[in-house]
Each structure stands twice: as C-alpha cells, then as structure tokens.
Amino acid sequence: SSLLKPGAIPALRPARSAGPGTASAMVKLFLGGVNPNTSSDAVREHFSKFGPVADAVVMRDRGFGFVTFETREAADAALSEPQQHIDGQKVDVKEAQGKGGRGGGGGRDAGGGRGGDSGVRTDKVFVGGLPQDCPDDKIRNYFEAYGVIVDAVVMKDRETGRSRGFGFVQFDNPAPVEKVMEDYSIHKIEGKWVEVKRSV
C-alpha cells in the first residue's frame, strides 16, 4: 500500500503547478503619466477591454502605474495602442521588464519571501527624483560607470517635453544593478540625490 501513496500525490500536483505556469504567462505593462486621481479600479476597467486583467496598480504620488494581463494576447492588444487616454489623461503604455514572471517564480522556489525586491535578478533600474531638466545622456553618463548600458531614458511629459522626474537604465547584464543598489544612498545627479530601485 505504500506504493499507492506516492502515486496519489502527483494527481494533486497539476493544480498546484498550474499556478506558476499561469503566472509566467502573465504580462506586466508600465503606464506612464497616469493622473494622480485615477484609481486602480479605473485602470483595471479601462484595460479589461483588451482582455483579462490580473492586477492593476497606480502609484499616485509618482504619476505612473502598472497593469498585469493574464495573457500575452491581451497585453499585445494593449501595446498596439502605445498612447491611451484614462480619465482624460494621456498615458504611455510600455511593456515592463519581461523577466518578472520567471524572477518571481525563482524567488518562490528559493523560499525567499522576505524582501521580494532584493531577490529579483534584473538588468534594469528605476531612477526617481531626477532634476527637472535632466536629459537622457545625463543618466547614461552617470550610470555607465557601473557597466555597459543598453538603454537609458528619462520619462518626459508629452505635452511640455519636460522631464517627469524619473527614468530607467538598462544594463547588458544584472551584475551592474547589484553594484548600483549597493550605492543606493549616494547616487547624485547634478548634486541632487536620486533614488534607485530594481525594475522588473
């Protein structure tokens, strides 16, 4: 009878393994220029026309948000309109770093629930609190001391062309991100301290 028990366990597994499987199929999109008064529910409702929405969040004090679709098809449909209007505000729609699904799964496998952000390996950093007139090459020049930069962009207001005070830097591998995070408290651009976070 001891042989039957192990045989019974795999029968339970498909339901459990479907969890990470569906999670990795999910696609997270970055939303730039969200109206600070827009609710997460309004974002969810707006994007649900493209397909099933798993999650929606608005960082009200930062003016951006994220929406996570349950399918690649729904995300692609949303990405086909890179600029959309939510609550009368023009919103930039971009794919967030695509490694989130795998990184999150790896974090679970490692049992590292504590400090989820620190456990994710990514080659991209979010840079906040930038000087108002900070150009792309300013953050590129600053962060290339840490490694080879693939992309560096300061998010700008579509109407005025002015910096929205944050941007993203992507390296060619995750190692420079670890070095950037080690220097978290000392990053300054034009004498102004800037906040860095891993971006996934």
Q: Along the 200 residues of the chain, how does pLDDT read in single tens digits?
A: 445 554 445 444 444 444 444 445 788 899 988 888 888 999 999 999 999 998 898 887 778 899 999 888 889 889 888 889 998 888 999 988 644 433 333 333 333 333 334 457 889 999 999 988 888 999 999 999 999 999 999 998 878 887 888 999 999 999 999 999 999 999 999 889 999 999 87
Return the bridge partners of 192, or none. Answer: 189
Q: Are 34 and 91 contacting, i.e. CB atoms less than 8 angstroms apart?
A: yes
Position 113, amino acid:
G
Does this model's pTM top 0.85? no
Q: Are strands 27-32 and 195-198 parallel, antiparallel or unpaired?
A: unpaired
